[in-house]
């Protein structure tokens, strides 16, 4: 078996007209993805409401999540959040001055 080293901060897209979702690892029970944002946010009328639970962490940059309950959650590098299945949420803001790199585990 050949081991391959990777780095979450390498091979970042230079131009981001929209968020980039990259699956890093996937099995039948979970999906691990890197998300790269640069000022993008969800459309005002769009809500994520996934059937899986999600654990998300901001590795670099800043973001704000809006919950359907009206709560706003600010995230900075190192902050993480667990979302139960079917919790309505959206990305309200990501830092337009730098790339925001997320790590998301869906299970």
90 vs 73: CA distance, rounded Å? 10
pTM of this prediction? 0.91
Q: Could you report how far apart the first and last alpha carbons of the chain are, in Å?
A: 27
Sole residue written with tokens 């099995």: 27
Rg (CA), the chain: 14
Sole residue written with tokens 């998301």: 104
> In which residue ranges of the chain is pLDDT below 70?
none
Point out which residues pair with 90 in neighbouring strands: 66
Could you tell me which of 8, 18, 76 has the C-alpha nearest to residue 46?
18
pLDDT, residue 1, reads: 72
- Provide the residue ranges of all domains of the chain, joining segments of one domain with +: 20-106
pLDDT, residue 56, reads: 98
pLDDT, residue 19, reads: 93
CATH 2.60.120.10 fits 20-106, yes or no: yes
């Amino acid at each position: 078996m050949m081991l391959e080293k990777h780095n979450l901060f390498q091979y970042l897209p230079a131009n981001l007209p929209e968020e980039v979702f990259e699956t890093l690892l996937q099995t039948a029970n979970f999906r691990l993805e890197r998300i790269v944002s640069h000022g993008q946010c969800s459309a005002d009328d769009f809500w994520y409401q996934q059937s899986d639970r999600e654990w998300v962490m901001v590795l670099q940059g800043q973001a704000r999540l809006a919950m359907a309950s009206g709560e706003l959650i600010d995230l900075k590098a190192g902050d993480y959040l667990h979302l139960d299945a079917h919790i309505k949420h959206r990305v309200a803001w990501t830092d337009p001055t730098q790339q925001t790199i997320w790590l998301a585990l869906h299970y």
